[in-house]
Structures are given as structure tokens and as C-alpha cells.
Chains A and B, each alone.
Chain A
Amino acid sequence: MATPEAPLREILKSISFTQLPLRHIEPFFEAEKITTPRLYIYGWPASGKQSSLPTYDTECLRVLAVLKFANYGFDIVHTNEPSGSPNGKLPYLLLPNGQAIDSDGVVAHLEKSGHKLPSDSLPNELAYCTMVERNLVPAVEYMMWVDPAGFKRIGDGRYLSGYPGLVRYVLGWFRASDVAHDVQVRQPEYGTALDGEALSENALRALDSLLILLGDREYLAGAPGLLDARVFACLNILIEAPVTSSIRTALLSPDSKYKPLVDYALRVMDKYFGDNSA
């Protein structure tokens, strides 16, 4: 209903602060557009085909495998800088809408986006995953970050080489300390006496269990799932990484009893990562 105050209200509205600023201009900045989800991982693109693995980090390779198994479309970005991740660790997935998802949230994101992993057909998959995380992952992490030869070749030589000298030394020391601490947390019964040999023995025992589980099947869990992603990551890093270890020797010896596991790892590698390089 029109009232005498209506024109005055309109005038006041036109000069009120809600109408400011009076003029808008186009910004002088255009952020980079992301059209495809990006997975940020450790690892440099290889010059020359030195390895078929895109990374030697277990968590990065595990998440890569999960995304591949779920047939999720994404690009790989080698960054070696974990600070951009929501939890400060690589890998993390960056979506086109700007949202970032760390490794713990990837499975939930896949389910939400309709890219489910093949259904779980292994009753004790969680127990096997725990066994692998407790016995196999620490051995690989130790080999990359704590063992002096592995640290020089992979941890420092590959993932920290982009930093200047002083920063590289300090970050390497902290990273190695963190990994050593994580390893001791996962295997507390050894206390401070934990070393590479003890880790290798535990890892080989875990491989024995996995060998029995695999049998003559194509995948550990019947269909490629979380356990397969975890085991695939550990096995292929042990096989491909240019670091000598007793586990690698046991896996790749001519008459190794672990040959079915090695064949399994390479089979998954060929099927899902055939065109990647590290």
C-alpha cells in the first residue's frame, strides 16, 4: 500500500550504506581454474623411465590405488610439499570447487560422489589391514626415511631436494624423527630397540600371512579394495624403489616363496598404473 513515507524510504534506501560501493570494477586477478580433481603426492616426474611407480610414499600410493580401483577420474600433481594439505600430510585431493580432502577422507568422498570401491567380500579385511599397517608399512617407511641409505636416496634425495640446504637438513631430521616415532608407536613392544632388522622380520611374517590369504585368487579381498590398495602400495615400493633391503631380497630371489605376491603386485600395477612414471 503506497504511503507518503514510501518515496522518502526509497530515497533513503538509495543513499544508504547497502548501496555502496557505487561502482564495481573487474578484479585484476583470476585464480587458476581446476576442472578435474587433483591428487597431490610425493615424488618427482621421472626424466627417463626409471620406475613405473608415480611415488615411493606408501600413503600416497595407497590413496592412488584406491582412486584407481574406484575408477575415479583425477590428475596427479607432484608437489613434495605437505603444508598445503588439510592435515599437513600428503596426499590430499583438491576438488574443482576448492575443497581439499586429506587421505582419511578419501573413502567417504568416493562414497559420496558415487565412486564406490567394489564391495567387501573378505570378512576379516579390517584385521588384515591392521596387520599390514602394523608390520609392513613401518618397514617401508623406515627404509625410505630412517635407514641412512634409503634416506639419502629417496627421502632426502627425492622428496626434500627442492629445499635449500639448511631447511632441507632440518626438515629431513624432523621427518625422520616423526617416522621413527610412528614406527615405535605401531610396534611398541620393541621400545627403543627397534631397528631395521626387527622391522624386516615382522614384515616378512606379515607377507607370509598375505601369501596364504592370496592363494590363487586375483585379489586379496576377492575384488580390489582397501586391503589390496595397502598391500599393493607396500609391495610395489619394496620391489621398485632403488634401495637394498632384506625384504626386497626375499621377494625377488629366483626361488622366492613370495613369487605369487610379486606377480600379484605387478599384475595390479600393469592393470591400473601402466602409463605412469615416478
Chain B
Amino acid sequence: MATDSAVDGLSARGIFDEAQQAAARHSRPAQAASAVVDISKHSISINRFSISGVSRIRHGFLSTLLEPMFAAQTVERAVAESREAAGKLQALGIVKGVHIELDQPQNGGEGIDVHFSCLDGSRYAIRTGVNVGDDEGTANVTGQLNNIWGGGESLEANYSRGSKTQAAFQGLLSVPVNADPKRQLRLCASQAAMDSRPYSAHDEIRRTLSTAYRASGFNGTTHELQYLMSWRDICNLGLDASPTLRGEAGHSLKSAIAYTLAHDDRDSHTVPTRGSLVKLSTELAGLLGDVRFAKTQFEMQTNQRIGESEYILSTGVQGGLLWSFGQSGRSPLADRFFLGGQTSVRGFEFRGIGPRDHNDSVGGDVFYAAGVSLLTPLPYVKTPALKGHLWANAGQLALLDNRGLLRKPARGSLPVDEIRRFFMRPSVAAGFGLVYQHSIVRVELSCCLPLVAATTDRPKPGLQFGLGVQFL
């Protein structure tokens, strides 16, 4: 690709000649201190750009990608923008590697020519893997087509099965916006069949179509605006399913707009030693479909080393509110919050806190959870991946309807008393154990001591094993 650009300032020949002279002066030791010439601020312009080694790349995409480079007016800026453009090509999977060459114009004009010698990226990939998290392990196989239209677009198809996910399919099309890998438009279609036993005697089938705009900013901040339409089916109830669960069974169609803001500057996702995580999501459902609600959820975590020691103090807070304004006044089971488990509030079974009818956890509309952890070095243990762990967790979950916080108060009580009691009477557990930091997962082995629990909660005293990425 070749482009003419206006000449401004020192020509390329002049710059290179001066650099050669500086190198010659530098070879004389007595004058080495005065031999360095800083040409970064010299004015320059890009005359021509060419690229080789790429099998497919769209002209319009390349124009957008290189626009900042051609706008560069100094050597420093030109080099930086060239590297930026090369980095984007790699990030989008169009190329595996780029060698940047700056040279005098071949046609003898002003400015400099830039050439990218590329190692072409893989057009397709098939990979298998194992995911762990939230008390579940899944095995998956993924097929991916890269750079399908020459602009860094990718099409991914994924199939997974797990301990709770009976079968899940997903097709994902990602398209970069303005040739920027940090800004993407995504179109996703998925179906998942999940088995909620033994926590709740039902299966849930979700068929979802969604489109999202995702942008990653500086300092680890990401924004995502999403529209989704999801058909959920609560079905295959067990023989011992509770009456409450039978009343929740059936089909529902959700049409919602969701926005998620996340800022994560922790040094590790699994066992962070410094930094913080702030995540806020909001969802509004009801434009189409038969469920109408407003839902918001937040999560905050901070991690700090105590002085110069190996002790790490972590604190985390989570909360959420689901406000239904459908005709029945009750929220759909598929959108409720659940609480409890090794990655949530330790010391309780998975989904072991909150509303329960017989043996079925039915979820809640409002929840809060807080946790504090102290990671300690272990004597005679040299590896920093294994640490001691002291922790305390608390949380509570309730429904916002006439079966939960808004039910008719007992004689002599006020409706607000139950809400006050909700915030003042969390389920609490404390414990100690070990934490192991693997590269992709965090492993915990804890001795749990549930201290306070509702009579319908499922506390789990004793040893509890946890495997996941995000913990409270």
C-alpha cells in the first residue's frame, strides 16, 4: 500500500545521514558522550506503507488501523503508532508476529516508508479445555475461525458438558469496532441445559440470543452494553419437588438491556495480593417478553499487603436487588440470586442460604454478602503459591414478595421490622484453611465453622473444598 504525504521538516535522508554520522562519532571513545543524537522529536511523515505475509486483510480495515500512523508528525510518534498498529494486528489474531521496517522512500521522495513483515495468523483453531468455578467443572471443545472477513472478525462455536451443565452450545461472532481490539461488537446465540439438583429439583433450559458492545478502557476498566432475549424453561421437576417450585415451573421469555461496568486492577484474578475489583451490573427487562423487572448487582473487593510482610488482607462486599413489576409481583426463578457455597459464603452448602421450601432452594430478590480474609505465609513452606487462610463470611438472602420480606407481619410487628431484621441478622461463618494458587484456578481447603444460620439454611461445618476463580 502506498500513500503520498506532504513533506515537513527534515527529510528521511537527512535524518539517516545524521544518524550515521552520530554512529561514527560514537565509535571514537573519547567523544562518546557527545555522540548521541536524539531524533525522536524530529519532524517526519509516513510516505508509504506496505505489508507482506498476510493472506487476508480488508483495505478499509487497514485504512482505519493506520490512520494514526499517517497522522504522526514526529519520529517518536510514528514509531509508537507503528508499534500500536502492529500490536492491534496481533491482538485481533490477524497475524502472529510483525517485524516493522522503516526505510527511505524507494521512489526517492520525502518522508519514510513503513513496511510490516508479518507471520500470518491461524485461520482456524480447535481447542479443548476444562473450566472450573462456582462449584462446577465443565469440559468443553471450541472451534474458532479467525479473521473471517479480513478485519479481525472471529466466529467461535463452543460445546461444553459439566457436573451441572448437561449440555451447552454457544456461537459467538466478534467484530472489532474501528479496528480496535479493545472495542468489540458481539453477536451470540446459545443454549444451555442445567441440572440444579440436588439444590433444587429441576432442570433449566435457556435459549439466548444477544448482542453486545464491549469496550475496554485504560486502567483495566471495561464497559459492556448488551441486549438479550432469552427463553427459559423450568422443567423436569423431580418427584419430590416442592409446591413452591411447581408454581415456578414453566416457560418465560426475557427481553432485557443490561449494562456492566468492571474495573479490575488486581495483580491476580485467583489469589490477588494487591489491587481492587469493582463490578456493577444493571439489567432492565420488559420491552418484549413476559417478565418485567429491574435488577442491579455490585461486587467490590480490595486486597492489601500488610506492611512489608507476606500477610495479605482481603475484603469483599457483594449485593443485589431484583425488583419485579410484572402482574404477579413475583420475580422469575431464573433471574433470582442465590447465596452459599465455597465461592460465595463459605461454611454453607451451594445455594444453602435463603428461601427454601422442603429441599428446594428458591432463590431471592435481595441479598448482601461480605467477607474478610487473611492470607498468611506458612512455616517451612517455600513456595509462595501455598498460603494459610483465615476468613469470616456473612450474608443474607430474601424474597421481596408476600412470602418474604413483604409478608404480613406477625401481631405486634411492623413491616419494616422484618426488613430491619434482614439486615441485622445475617448468616455467618468463619474458618481457617489453606489456599493454593494455580495459574488458572484457586484451590481452597477450609475448616468451616458456621456460627449463625436460619433454620432453613444448609450449614456445612467441617472440611470444605473449593475450586474456582472468584471467591468472596
Contacts and interface: CB of A to CB of B under 8 A. Distances in A.
Interface of A: 17-18, 20-32, 34, 81, 83-86, 88, 94, 98, 100, 162-164, 166-167, 171
A24 B453 contact: yes
Contacts of B231: 166-167
Contacts of A18: 461
A28 B455 contact: no
B354 interface: yes
Interface of B: 231, 233-237, 239, 241-247, 249-251, 253, 288-290, 354-358, 362, 396-399, 403-405, 407, 418, 421-422, 425, 427, 429, 449-457, 459, 461-462
Nearest to B242: A98
Given A29-B398, A98-B358, A171-B251, A20 B451 contact: yes
29 contacts: A17-B449, A20-B459, A21-B452, A21-B459, A24-B452, A24-B454, A25-B454, A25-B455, A27-B355, A27-B454, A28-B355, A28-B396, A29-B356, A29-B399, A29-B404, A32-B244, A32-B247, A81-B250, A84-B245, A84-B246, A85-B237, A86-B237, A88-B236, A94-B243, A94-B246, A100-B239, A100-B246, A164-B289, A167-B231
A143 B242 CA distance: 35
A167 B451 CA distance: 46
A22 B450 CA distance: 8
B253 A164 contact: yes
A31 B398 contact: no
A84 B249 contact: yes
A-B interface, 4 closest residue pairs, ranked by CB to CB distance from nearest: A29-B355, A84-B246, A83-B249, A81-B250
A83 B244 CA distance: 13
Most buried by B among A20, A24, A32, A162: A20
A102 to B, nearest CB: 10
Contacts of A171: 251
B237 A27 contact: no
Contacts of A98: 242-243, 357-358
Contacts, number: 120
A28 B418 contact: yes
Given A21-B450, A23-B451, A163-B251, A29 B237 contact: no
Given A28-B418, A83-B251, 18 more contacts: A17-B461, A18-B461, A21-B451, A24-B455, A25-B425, A26-B455, A28-B355, A28-B404, A28-B405, A29-B398, A29-B399, A29-B456, A84-B250, A88-B235, A100-B239, A163-B253, A164-B289, A167-B253
B190 to A, nearest CB: 16
Contacts of B429: 21
A164 B289 CA distance: 6
A28 to B, nearest CB: 4
Contacts of B237: 83-86
A211 to B, nearest CB: 41
Contacts of B422: 28
A20 B418 contact: no
- For the residues of B in contact with A, the DSSP-based class is mixed
A201 to B, nearest CB: 37
A41 to B, nearest CB: 14
Nearest to A162: B290
Contact of B449 (A20, A86, A162): A20
A29 B402 CA distance: 9
Contacts of A32: 243-244, 247, 403
Contacts of A166: 231, 253
A98 B239 CA distance: 10
Contact of B461 (A20, A26, A27, A85): A20
B451 A86 contact: no
A205 B357 CA distance: 50
B454 A31 contact: no
Nearest to B358: A98
B360 to A, nearest CB: 10
Contacts of A20: 449-451, 459, 461
A22 B239 CA distance: 34
B403 A29 contact: yes
Contact of B452 (A17, A23, A31, A84): A23
Contacts of B244: 31-32
A31 B451 contact: no
A171 B239 CA distance: 24
A22 B452 contact: yes
A88 B237 CA distance: 8
B168 to A, nearest CB: 20
Contact of B288 (A24, A34, A164): A164
Nearest to B202: A83
A17 to B, nearest CB: 4
A17 B462 contact: yes
Given A23-B451, A83-B237, A31 B403 contact: yes
Contacts of B357: 29, 31, 98
Contacts of B462: 17
Contacts of A22: 451-452
B4 to A, nearest CB: 55
B352 to A, nearest CB: 12
B228 to A, nearest CB: 14
A145 B398 CA distance: 41
